[in-house]
Structure formats: C-alpha cells, structure tokens
Amino acid sequence: MHYGTSRGQAGRSFDSAAARRLREGLRLSPEDVAYGMRAAYGMEIDARTVAAWEAGVAAPDEQQLSALAGALWCSAADLMGSPGTLREYRLALGVSPTDVAREIGMAPEEYAEVEETGVWAGDARQADALAGVLRLPVPALIEFTGRDEELARLLRKAATTRWQAHVAAVCELVPLPREYVAEGLRGLHAAYHSTTAASLGWGQPASASSRDAGREFLEEILAHFWQAVEG
C-alpha cells in the first residue's frame, strides 16, 4: 500500500532541468512555450519567465505549473522532483485541493489549512483515505499525519529494550502487516546493538564511545526503522 511535511510551495521540487529538456525535445523556444501558456491558459507569461524557471532562479506556482505542463505536452509530475510536501504529492498527480478534500471527507477550507500549516486535523479514517488518494508512501503518511514523534519514541524503546514488547503499539501507528513491523523492529534492535558494539575500539574509553554511537543511532531512529522494514 502506498502511504512522507506538508509545508512548502509548488516550486520547491520544480525540476528546472526537466522543463528545459522537455521543451528542447519538442523543438520549442522559450517564446513558443510562453505563447502556448498565454493562448491556451490565459497566463501572462513571457519568454524571460520561462527562461528563469529553466535556470532555476524562479519557479512556477500551482496554476503556472499546470499550464506549463500543458504547453510542454506532459504531466505536472514530469516537471517535479521527488515530492516533499502534501501539496507536491497532489500536484504530481494533477489533483485539485477540492477533489482531495471530497475524497477524504474533509471540508475544502480545512484541507487547505492542512497543506498550508502542515498540521493534520483529520482522523484515522481520513488519514487512510489521504494515503490512497495521494499514493503516499508509509513514511510520508506517518509524517504528514503527525505520528512521527510518537513512533520515534516507541522505536527508541524497541531498539534499546525488548523489541517484542513494542510490536503491537507500533502496529497501531504504522499501516503495515504485523510481520513486517516485527521484522523491522528485530532488525532495528540488532542494528542498534551492532552499532554500539562496533564503537568499542582500541584506545577509546568504551563507555563514551558506545554512548556516542548509540545516541547518534537513536537520533536517526526513523530512518533506521524504514531501512529495516524495507530490508
């Protein structure tokens, strides 16, 4: 199942190199692209603006991105790098905020506030629906719905104590099969203890070395867990 912060603007992940590559592939000039955006979408865009986007010194807003994709005969996703916000996941699919709000059962203005502030205001059912509509990977869903801090707390306990005791609690937060979660926690626990043991080198105080390695591992506990699950 596809289920990653929701702050940011559309241009944050705009791929300027892809825009230029697509334009050149169609043998269009910046003037041609600007004309297409004006003629078909009513955008007051000139060739200098298109060139600025391609140079990476500026980026289109949401409406401009859709018009640019139309002028280049591609999808908005083709003009974006890896999404990092809810808005970017939505833009990559070409879905309107109103459509997302309707699909997850949330008022349009409430969903718009979620995208703007990064504060999730929905319930568990709406979170599951959001994951389906925007095809969110599990780590993104956990972050966007404000469950990352609680998950990190549980994972630190699982890594440093008896991991089996935390399977059920982690399963309540992470929408993955129980066996996946259990295997991830087992791998996380093993990786933590392997890291601290490997830090016990010659010429260093064992306790300080081990403590530093363990602290660094626990600071990145979420990344280590997703690695363990994928592995």
DSSP 168-205: HHHHHHS-S-HHHHHHHHHHHHHHHHHHHHHT--TTS-
Token pair 């099969």 is found at: 177
Q: What is the DSSP string of 14-35?
A: B-HHHHHHHHHHTT--HHHHHH
DSSP state of 3: -
Tokens at 80, concatenated:
């974006």
Tokens at 16, concatenated:
């300027």
- Name the 3-class secondary structure at 162: coil
Residue 198 confidence (pLDDT) above 90: no
> What pTM value is reported for the model?
0.69
Q: How far apart are CA 95 and CA 35, in angstroms?
A: 25
Q: What is the DSSP string of 202-219?
A: TTS-HHHHHHHHHHHHHH
Q: pLDDT tens, 109-153?
A: 999 999 999 999 999 899 999 999 999 999 999 999 999 999 999
Q: pLDDT tens, 20-56?
A: 999 999 999 999 999 999 999 999 999 999 999 999 8
Q: pLDDT tens, 88-117?
A: 899 888 889 999 999 999 999 999 999 999
Whether 19 contacts 72, CB under 8 Å:
yes
Q: What is the rounded average pLDDT for all residues in the chain?
A: 87
